[in-house]
Amino acid sequence: MQEIRWGIMGCGGIAHMFADSLNALDEGILLAGASRTPGRAQAFAKEHGMERVYTDYESLATDPEVNAVYIATTHNFHFENAMLCLENGKHVLCEKPFTVNAAQTKELIAFAREKNLFMMEAVWTRFLPAIGKLRELLAEGAIGEVLTVKADFSITGEFSAEHRLKNKALAGGALLDLGIYPITFAAIVFGEQPVRIQSSAVIGETGVDDRSFFLFDYEGGRRAQLSSAFTHHAPSEGIVCGTKGYIRVPVFHAAQELHIHREGRAPEILKRPYGDNENFTFEITEAMECIAAGKIESDILPLSETLAVMQTMDILRAQWGLKYEGE
């Protein structure tokens, strides 16, 4: 594999997970990082052994030694940051949600293809070994015909009105940050988008969805019951229900094991563990392998799938009347 020299835009919490995961791999180099917050990139560089530090994103995007950029800024900046990188010939791995809406995603896809550059959404769940095994089991009919998917991702904490989860100016809300995971889980299981979407949301004081609930109908009477919130505790699990059994995936967004319950057989637990600093290694490896092979998108998470999920989230927000700045 050719050596990919990475830059990071935004040096907040999730960027640390990326840096730890990249440093856990034998391939790839974390060369540069940029943050507009004074001192943050310097502290990040010291912690992760990063060679170059920038206080503006343009300098990172124009660094001739950087091949690819991981975008770890807040949601509202993803589109402009990704466009800046593409304009300067950089491959892009952009944290989820890829953009704020489908129109932005379409524009980025068209431009990346025009520039013949690799681009992928960093939805780490899709690349985990346990999720790969889940796909295999479903493809071989391990639990018969799958009819129902249930998934929830809810957290709680002391979030100020300025926190990115609650800040409408930063495209906050449970849906784009948390709800994308159960929606992704349903897409992985069914391999297609819903034909009918029903939903409701509790809009909080800051104007974003504090809690949101989705009911998706698919062809053939199949259904997904999904939800997300940052107001309460709940089990973060995905359950796939079939005609001959079911599979429970504890902490599905960070899956490390599958609990398989098949008709007439004892329950089975399949484990696919990874280390604390390896969370993003699988998505990073996929990106680097694609770049080395000259591909401009991933087979595991093609750009059409990123667009489809974004279109689904657009429909949900339209049902709630939730619009962000500039929409």
What residues act catalytically?
Answer: 96
Alpha carbons 307 and 99: distance in angstroms, whole number: 10
Q: How many CA atoms lie within 13 A of 64 on its CB side?
A: 0
Which residues have a Cβ under 8 Å from the Cβ of 66 and sit 6 or more positions away? 5, 6, 7, 31, 32, 60, 90
How far is Cα 104 from Cα 78, in angstroms, rounded to an integer?
A: 9
Scan for tokens 């902490």, then name that residue: 251
CB count in 10 Å sphere of residue 271: 10
Q: How far apart are CA 291 and CA 81, in angstroms?
A: 19
Helix (H) / strand (E) containing 223? strand 222-229
Residue 235 exposure: Cα atoms within 13 Å on the Cβ side: 8
CB-CB neighbours of 324 under 10 Å: 19
In the three-class reduction of DSSP (H, G, I as helix; E, B as strand; rest coil), residue 232 is classed as coil
